[in-house]
Each structure stands twice: as structure tokens, then as C-alpha cells.
């Protein structure tokens, strides 16, 4: 049996949603949000190419999200993980 083709768009969506769990600001006055970057480097690279995060390469343990990335990670989080009315 052949392995199914992996949809990297779905992986990127899931990584965005999981980034939402670790969103933080070093100071409340900062305009941009940060998230811990301990995810697959290929996925992080794709998110950077899509301009959803700033360059993840470096010694920092977190990555800065763009404004669009912040919006999309919250959207993905609730779309993928929120309970639906018909769930127990």
C-alpha cells in the first residue's frame, strides 16, 4: 500500500493553531506577538515564506508573528479545536 500524500497546507494550519497556545508579549506595549517556535523547521519555513511569521532562524526560542499571522493563528485555533454544539 502506498503512503498517502501529505498536505503541507494542513500541517501549516495546525502549526499556526498551536502557535496560538503560546502567544505572548515581552512587554504589554509591544505591538507584535511572539510564540514559542518548537515546531517542524520545514513548516516554520513555509509560514515565513507566507509572511505569517518573521524569520524563525536564530537563537531566540520564540518567533515573532506578523499581524496577518497573529490573526490567522487565532482563526485556525478556534476552527480546529473549538467544541461544536453537537459534541459531547
Q: 43-49 contacts: CB < 8 A, separation 24 or more?
A: 43/8, 43/11, 43/12, 43/15, 44/15, 46/8, 46/12, 47/12, 47/15, 47/16
pLDDT at res. 50: 97
pLDDT at res. 32: 86
> What mean pLDDT comes out for the span 15-36?
89
pLDDT at res. 28: 79
pLDDT tens string 39-59: 999 999 999 999 999 999 989
pLDDT at res. 29: 82
- Residue 1: pLDDT band by 50, 70, 90 thresholds? confident
pLDDT at res. 78: 95
CATH fit for domain 8-81, picks 1.10.10, 2.30.30, 1.10.1060, 1.10.3470? 1.10.10
Domain boundaries, the chain: 8-81
Amino acid at each position: 500500500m502506498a503512503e498517502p500524500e501529505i498536505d503541507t497546507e494542513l500541517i501549516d494550519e495546525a502549526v499556526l493553531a498551536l502557535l496560538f497556545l503560546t502567544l505572548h508579549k515581552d512587554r504589554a506595549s509591544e505591538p507584535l506577538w511572539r510564540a514559542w517556535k518548537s515546531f517542524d523547521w520545514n513548516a516554520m519555513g513555509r509560514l515565513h515564506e507566507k509572511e505569517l511569521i518573521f524569520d524563525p532562524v536564530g537563537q531566540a526560542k520564540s518567533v515573532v508573528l506578523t499581524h496577518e499571522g497573529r490573526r490567522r493563528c487565532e482563526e485556525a485555533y478556534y476552527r480546529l479545536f473549538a467544541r461544536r454544539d453537537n459534541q459531547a
